[in-house]
Structure 1
Amino acid sequence: MAAVVRTRLSRGIMGRLRLASQGLLGPGFRTAPDAVRWMTAMQAQDLQAALWAVGQRVPGSGVEDVRSALDRGEIVRSWPMRGTLHLLAPEDLKWVLAITSDRLIRGMAGRHRELEIADEDVQAARKAALQLVSGGEAATRGRLFRAFEEAGRPTAGQRGIHLLGILCQRGWLVQGPLSGNQQQVVALDEWIRESRTLDRAEGIAELLLRYMRSHGPATERDFSWWSGIPLTEVRAALAEVRDQLVELVFEDTGYWLSPGTAALLDDGVPGQRSVLALPGFDEFLLGYTDRSLVLPPQHADKIVPGGNGMFKKTIVAGGAVIGTWARSGNGRGAAVVPEPFDAVNGLRPAAQKSFELQAAKYRRFVGS
C-alpha cells in the first residue's frame, strides 16, 4: 500500500519537488541519454529549446553533446503523444507508440479527412519513404516531401507534415541525424537496433511509474493528459504500481511521486533560493495538465501570448515561474535578458545574481 503524506505543504514546495524529480535540482545527470531516459519523454517540438532542456539537466554539457547523442541515435525524436514531438530513449519508442499511436491517429481523423489523406495515401507515402531511406540512408524533410510528390501524394497545405507524422507514429520512420538545424528522416527499424516489447497493460503501468518518478508530484489526470491514455486505464495502472510511489495530499488533491523525492520533505526541500532559466516548452511547465501549481494563472498569457501555442522561455525561482527571458543578438555579443512578471521591482539582487549565473551557463552551452 502506498504511503500517504499529509504534511505542511505549499505551492513553492510542490514546485521544488518537481524540480528535484526532473533533475533540475541537485547533481543532475551524467549524460544527455541518461537525462532523456529518466524523463521518459521530453517536449521537443522546438529543437533548440529541447537541446537546452537536456543541457539544463546535464551539468557541464554543451549543445554539441546533445546534438551528438541525436546523431548517434542515443536519443530519438518522434511524435509519440499529443501530436507533439518528444525526445525519448531509442529502446522506449516502439512500445510507447504501441500504446499511444492508435488513439492519437483516430483523434486526428477529422483533420486527415479535411486534408484528404486516406489509407492509400499513407501506404504510398510509406513505400516512397522506405525506398528513399532504406539501406542506412537519411533524407531531409524537403527530400522526403519530394518523394511523396513523385509518388503522386501532394504535400501542400500541411499534407506533407501529417503524412510524415503518421509514418512516424506507425513506427516506420523516425527522425535521425542532424543536418544543420534540421533532423533527417531514417527508417526506424534500421536506426533503432534494440527495442523493448511490452503488452499494453504492462506498458501503461511502466509509463505511469516512470512519469510519476520523473515528474512527481503529479496527479493521475496530469499523466492521462500527458500520455493521452484514458483515465480508466490510468487508474488500473496506478493500482498496480502505487506501492512503489508515495501520495501527497495537497489542497484536497492526491499527488504521486517517488519515495526518494518524498524523502526530501524530511529535512526540508532544497532549492528555495534557486533560480533557473528554462527553455520554452520545458517539461517543468508543459508536463502537466494543470500548470497553476507553479504558474500563477494571471501570468499565463505572458508565457503563451494570445494563446498561440508558442511557449516563452521561463525564469523559475524557488519552484515557481516568476518571469520570462529572451536572447538578444547573436554570437559572442548575445545578451540574455530577464523579463520578470514584476516589471516595477524586477528581480531581487540575489535572484538577479543567480539569473546572471544561469545566463552564463546558457551561453557556455550554446558556445556563445
Structure 2
Amino acid sequence: MRITPAERRRLLGHRHLLAPRERAGLVEDVAETLVGLHATDAASVVLSARARVREPSPADVDRALYEDRTLLRMHCMRRTLFVVPTDLVPVFHHSTSEAIAKRERAVLLKHLAATGPARNDRWLNNAERAALEALTRLGEAGAVELTAEVPALQETIVLSPGKPYQATQRVGGWVLRLLAMEGRIRRGRPLGGWTSNQFRYSVAPEMPAMDPAEARTELVRRWLACYGPGTVDDLAWWTGWPNGQVREALGRIATTEAELAEGTGLVLADGRIEETLAQEDAAPWAAFLPGLDPATMGWKHRDWYVDPAHRPLLYDSAGNGGPTVWWNGEIVGAWAQRADGEIAWRLLSDRGAEARAAVEAGAAALQEWLAHYRMVARFPAPLTKELTA
C-alpha cells in the first residue's frame, strides 16, 4: 500500500476531527479519539477541543474535568501533561506514567541525598505520607496551601549547584508531581480560570491493575487508529518509549505496511484507511490550533504537513509547536492573541483566495470567541513572538 502526503492530509482532517462533517459532540469524544489532549499549557486543552466540537465552550471542558470527572489531567507520554479519558487512565498509567514515576523518584532522591544523609528514601516516604494525610484531611488543596500544612514540603533542594543557572526549589512541588505520576493524587480545578496552570490536588482512587505490555499494546493500537499511517520512529517519539517496547507492542497488533514519503509506515489492518480514502473529499477547512495541539505534535516526521523551511518559525528550539493556522491538513501559518485581544496571524504558504478567505473568517470567529479571555502561549514559537511584538 502506498499513501501519499496529500492522502495523509485528507486522513488527518477526518481522523483528527477537523473536517467540519467530522466534528464531535463532546470534549470527551475528542480526548478519546485523539488519545489525549496536550495539557502542559492549560489553554491548549480548551482550544484543541474548540477546533473539534460542534458547539465549543470552556464550560464543557470544565464540566468534563471537574464536575463529571470523565477526563483527567496526568503526566504520561514524554513526561508531558495530557488530558485523557478517565476510563483509560490505567492504560496511560501502566504503559507510560509508571516508568516515568520511577525515574522521577530516582532523580528526586539524588537531589535529596546531596543535601545530607538524612534525606533518604525513608525521609521521602514520610514526607509523602504526611502530604497524603493532609490532603485527606483538607479534601482538596493547592500546592501553596498543602506546603504550609506539611513542614517537610517546605524543605529545599539545589539544582545544578555551582552552575550559572543554579536554582533552589522547595521539595513540595517535586513531591506533589511524583505522587501524581504514581497515581496517588490527582489534579483538580485550577486556582485561576481555564488558562491557569496552577491546580488543586486531591487523593486519587486506587489505580486498577493492568499488565504493562497489554497497556502499551492498547495505546499503540489507539495511536494507529487516529494517527496512522506512521513509522516506528513516530511512535517511539510520541510515546517516549524505547524502540524495543514499541516493536513489541506492534507485534501484538494486526498491521499492514504502508509506503510513505519518509519510508515504511504502518496502518491497522482493519481496512478503515482504505474506506476513508475512498470517500468523497471533505469540504475544504481551515483551523486555528493552539500550541502543542495533537495535530501539530503527533509525529516525529512532519514534512508531509509542514514545509521544512517553515518549521524554525513554527516550533521552538525544543520542538514545541506554537499556535498554528491550518488549511486542508497542512500548516500554512501561525497566529497569536495580542494584549488587546486581537487575533494576529500570518500565512507562510499561499493556497489561494478560498484559503485566505476561510482563514480570515476563522480569525474573526476566534477573536469573538476569546473576547473575554486573554491567553499567552506558554511555549511561543519564533513567529508567535513576532506576531505579539
TM-score bracket relative to the smaller structure: 0.7 to 0.9
Aligned to 1:165: 177
Report the Cα distance in structure 2 between the residues aligned to 1:144 and 1:75, rounded to whole angstroms. Answer: 24
Offset, 1:128: 2.8
SS in 1 for 2:215: helix
Report the 3-state secondary structure (helix = DSSP H, G, I; strand = E; otherwise coil) of the residue aligned with 1:297: coil
Provide the rounded CA distance (Å) in 2 between the counterparts of 1:161 and 1:216.
37
- CA contact under 8 A between 1:18 and 1:216: conserved in structure 2? no
- The question of 1:177 aligning with 2:189 is answered yes
Cα offset, 1:15, TM superposition = 2.5
Q: Which moved more, 1:308-317 or 1:253-262?
A: 253-262
Match of 2:230 in 1: 218
**In the aligned structure 1, how far is the partner of 2:248 from the partner of 2:11?**
25
Match of 1:301 in 2: 312
The one-character-per-residue Cα deviations of 1:13-58 (angstroms, maximum 9, x if unpaired) are 2133123212222332111112112222221100011211122121
Point out where structure 2 has 5 or more consecutive residues left out of the alignment.
114-119, 158-167, 373-389
Deviation at 1:101, TM superposition (A): 2.9
1:139-218 matched pairs, under 5 angstroms: 139-151=141-153, 153-154=155-156, 156-157=168-169, 159-180=171-192, 181=196, 182-189=198-205, 197-218=209-230
The answer for the alignment partner of 1:132 in structure 2 is 134
Name 1:88's counterpart in structure 2. Answer: 84
In structure 1, runs of 5+ residues without a counterpart are none
Describe the shift of the 1:359–1:58 C-alpha distance in structure 2 as closer, same or farther (beyond 3 A): same
Q: Distance in 1 between matches of 2:302 and 2:104?
A: 25
* TM-score with structure 1 setting the length: 0.84
Structure 1 SS opposite 2:112 = coil
CA distance in 1, matches of 2:110, 2:309: 36
Q: What is the aligned partner in structure 2 of residue 77 from structure 1?
A: 73
Q: Give yes or no for contact 2:297–2:320 (8 Å, CA) kept in 1.
A: no
Q: Which has the higher contact order (CA 8 A, sep 6+)?
A: 1
Contact residue 80 and residue 93 of structure 1 kept, 8 A: no
Deviation at 1:308, TM superposition (A): 5.0
Deviation at 1:165, TM superposition (A): 2.0
Q: Does 1:260 align with 2:272?
A: yes
Partner SS state of residue 331, structure 2: strand
Q: Is the 8 A contact 1:247 1:256 kept in 2?
A: yes
Q: How does 1:211-360 map to 2 (within 5 A)?
A: 211-242=223-254, 245-251=255-261, 252-257=263-268, 259-270=271-282, 273-305=284-316, 307-308=317-318, 310-330=320-340, 334-342=341-349, 348-360=352-364
Cα deviation, residue 327, structure 1: 1.1
Task: Using the TM superposition, name which of 308-317 and 31-40 deviates more.
Answer: 308-317
Distance 1:249 1:360, change over 3 A: same
8 Å CA contact 1:279, 1:313 repeated in 2:
yes
Shift of 1:295: 1.8
Mapped partners of 1:263, 1:319: distance in 2: 18
Q: Is 2:45 aligned against 1:39? A: no
The 1:262/1:157 distance shift into structure 2, 3 A limit, reads: farther
CA displacement 1:184-217 (0-9 Å, x = unmatched): 1111118xxxx65431222111111111112222
Kindly tell me: are residues 29 and 152 of structure 1, through their superposed partners in 2, closer, same or farther at Cα, counting changes over 3 Å? same
Question: Greater CA deviation, 9-18 or 310-319?
Answer: 9-18
1:287–1:163 distance in 2 versus 1, CA, 3 Å? farther
- Cα shift at 1:110: 7.2
Aligned residue for 2:97? 101
SS in 2 for 1:123: helix
1:281-312 residue CA offsets vs partner (Å, 9 max, x unmatched): 0011212222233222222211124x156531
Q: CA RMSD in A?
A: 2.7
Query: Is 1:56 equivalent to 2:47 in the alignment?
Result: no
Query: How far 1:84 sits from its partner (Å)?
Result: 1.0
The separation in 2 between residues aligned to 1:121 and 1:320, in whole angstroms, is 52
Q: Give TM-score scaled by structure 2 length.
A: 0.80
Q: Does 1:13 align with 2:13?
A: no
Letter in 2 for 1:34: D
Query: C-alpha deviations, 1:139-168, integer Å up to 9, x for none?
Result: 112223434545553374374433222111
* Structure 1 pair 367–124 and aligned structure 2 pair: CA distance change class (3 A): farther
* Counterpart contact for 2:95–2:219, Cα < 8 Å: no
Mapped to 2, the partners of 1:200 and 1:105 lie a distance apart of 14
Contact 1:20–1:261 (CA<8 Å) still a contact in 2?
A: no
> Any conservation in 1 of the 2:335–2:346 contact (CA below 8 Å)?
yes
The answer to which of 112-121 and 181-190 deviates more is 112-121
Contact 1:224–1:231 (8 Å) recurs in 2: yes
**Partner amino acid, structure 2, of 1:116:** L
d(CA) in 2 for partners of 1:308 and 1:239?
31
Deviation >6 Å, runs of 4+? none
Deviations 1:79-135 (A, max 9, x none): 122121111111222342122234324545775366337534542342232122216
Please tell me whether the aligned partners of residues 258 and 265 of structure 2 are also in contact (alpha carbons under 8 angstroms).
yes
Residue identity over aligned pairs, in percent, reads 22
Q: Could you tell me whether the CA contact under 8 Å between 1:76 and 1:88 is conserved in 2?
A: yes
State whether residues 19 and 284 of structure 1, in contact with CA within 8 Å, keep that contact through their aligned partners in structure 2.
no
Secondary structure of 1:87's aligned partner: strand
